[in-house]
Amino acid sequence: MKSQPSSSQTEKRTFSQVFWAVFPHACFLCSLVIYALLGALMFSHVEGNRESNETDAYRKFMLSLWNLSKDLSENETSNEIFKNRTHELLSDIDFIWFTNPKKKWSFLGSLFFCCTVFTTVGYGHTYPVTRLGKYLCMLYALFGIPLMFLVLTDMGDILAAILSTSYNKVRQLQSKLLSRLSCKRYCKKRRESKPRSSSVRQNKIVLREPLNIREVLQSNSSCKKKSGQYRNVEMFEKLIARENEFLAPPKLARFERWSSCPELDKRAMMNHMIDNIDNIGKEVEKLDVPFLLMTFIVFAYISCAAAILPHWEHDLNFEGAFYFCFITLTTIGFGDVKLRHPNFFLFLSFYIVVGMEIVIIAFKLGQDRLLSLYKKLIFYIGQKNIQHKTV
């Protein structure tokens, strides 16, 4: 007789199972965070300590600006010429001339730059200037972008599982409510259709004894039509399947099947964790949620940040913040909207990662809908072509 495991052993086993189930996802996310912090230290040291020497282009620009200021007069015609010359001169400005490297490439500024690199947003406000910084940026992106895609794929599975489960539960609840409503309407109509003066009839409850094997075979029409040999084979197969179904021991959960031996438990948990890692990206492919619902979730998600962002970016209204968040989450990153306080936006990095995943799922569903549309179109054109040739 095997002794039943105690409550403390069961709690330890449950804790270890939960830990090993969460451990791979936490590893991916922590690796991305550590990679971003190391990149911030590297770029703040390389780009922040560069010397801001006055280049020849800067000295030439300042000389032209000084000469232009001397030509300013009160004549309207000369002022038009002055405006045209000013536009031409200002178009050649390089803002690196007027920025302090240590202030621009602080730790938080470098961290914001690293996030724009491996998320492939690339606003263009901050970029490396030194030759070493450019080489390190290419190397950093070479490893950071795959790591970011791995985190997005892993979180996409979790998000897809949550969305599919929620959607299925809502559908089940909806079907239950509709069935109850239809049942109530049917019972109400049936009661109204019965005459009031009719006597209430008692329903007779008929208790039938269980059928024996001969009666089951006689009542089965599929056995009557077949020949004796095949009928006997099918009969015994059905009997064996039914006996196995009743006599089989109840299926144990995956955690209960594991042995009480700690080494076997750890090995089983490790195999289960490796299987989960191998199946990364499968939940997103199996997700079946209406595209309109996913589009609504995307716009609702962006609207939440668009309502918060103008509180610290006073130059942005809701419309501008919505545009900026959409450009960010879709990784377009034009750079036309410049944040005055990017450090605050950096604290919403988790929001950006989740939002990018929601947008990717929406794009995946849109891709599936476009593929099905193209398949129907090609099939329709092929049928028309076949019909035209036969005629």
Give the tokens for residue 350: 């988790």
Task: Give 290-313 pLDDT, tens digit per residue.
Answer: 888 889 999 999 999 999 999 989
- What percent of the chain has a predicted confidence (pLDDT) above 70? 71
- Does residue 174 have a pLDDT over 80? yes
How is residue 287 annotated by DSSP? -
Q: Which residue has the tokens 């939940």?
A: 283
Long-range contacts at 314-318 (CB < 8 A, ≥ 24 apart) = 315/340
pTM score above 0.75: no
**What pLDDT, on a 0 to 100 scale, did the predictor assign at position 256?**
44
Three-state SS for 203-244 is CCCCCCCCCCHHHHHHHCHHHHHCCHHHHHHHHHHHHHHHHH
Give the tokens for residue 167: 């959607």
**What pLDDT, on a 0 to 100 scale, did the predictor assign at position 258?**
44
Mean pLDDT of 220-247: 58
Give the tokens for residue 364: 């995946």
Mean pLDDT lowest among 42-51, 161-170, 216-225, 331-340 = 216-225
- Does residue 200 have a pLDDT over 50? no
Calculate the CA dihedral of residues 160, 163, 167, 170 and round it to 10 degrees: 150
Assign 38 a pLDDT band (cuts: 50, 70, 90).
very high
Higher model confidence: residue 148 or residue 104? 148
**Are the CB atoms for 25 and 156 separated by under 8 Å?**
no
Mean pLDDT of 254-262: 47
The CATH number assigned to the domain with range 289-380 reads 1.10.287.70
